Amino acid sequence: MASKELLDMLNKAIAGELQVSVQYMWQHVQWKGLRHFSVKDEFEKIAVEEMKHAEMIAERLFYLGGTPTTSPEPITVGQSLKDMLAADIKAEEMTIKLYKDIIALAAKEEDPTTAHIFTEILEDEEEHLDTFQSLAEEG
C-alpha cells in the first residue's frame, strides 16, 4: 500500500505533466519568427511525450488507489522564444527534482514498479531539459 505522501507526489507529477503538455503545445502553435521552424517541431514532439507521461503516472496512481488530478500546474506560455525556453527549463528542472524524490520514496516504500516507471520518465525529462538548454544557447 502506497503512502499518502507518495500518492500526493504522483498527483503533483501528473499536474506538472499536464501543465507542460499544454504549455509546450501552445508554444508550438504561437511561436513565430525566424527560428520558428527549427523549434516548433521540438515543442510539439515534447508536448506529446509529456501527455504520455501523464497517462502512465495516472494509471500507476489509480492502481495504487489514488485518484488522478485533472488540474495542471500553472501554465506559462511566454511571449518570446527566450521567455518560453526559460519557463520550460525551469519546469523541467523542477520535474527532475520531483522525480528523483519520487524514485527515492518509492524505493523506501519497497515499490520497485513506481521507481522503475519514474526512472524511465526521468531519462526523458533530462533529454527535454538538454533540448531546451541547447535551444536557449545563442551561439
- Overall domain count for the chain: 1
Rg for the chain, CA atoms, rounded? 15
CA 68 to chain centre: 15
Alpha helices by DSSP H, the chain = 4-30, 36-63, 81-108, 112-136
pLDDT tens digits, one per residue of 34-56 = 666 777 888 999 999 999 999 99
Beta carbons of 54 and 21 less than 8 angstroms apart: yes
Domain holding 100, by residue range, is 4-136
Question: Are 111 and 2 in contact, with CB atoms under 8 Å apart?
Answer: yes
Cα-based angle 128, 89, 16 (whole degrees, multiple of 5): 75
* pLDDT tens column, 51-109: 999 999 999 999 999 999 999 999 999 988 889 999 999 999 999 999 999 999 999 99
> Can you give the CATH number for the domain in which 37 is found?
1.20.1260.10
pTM assigned to the model: 0.94
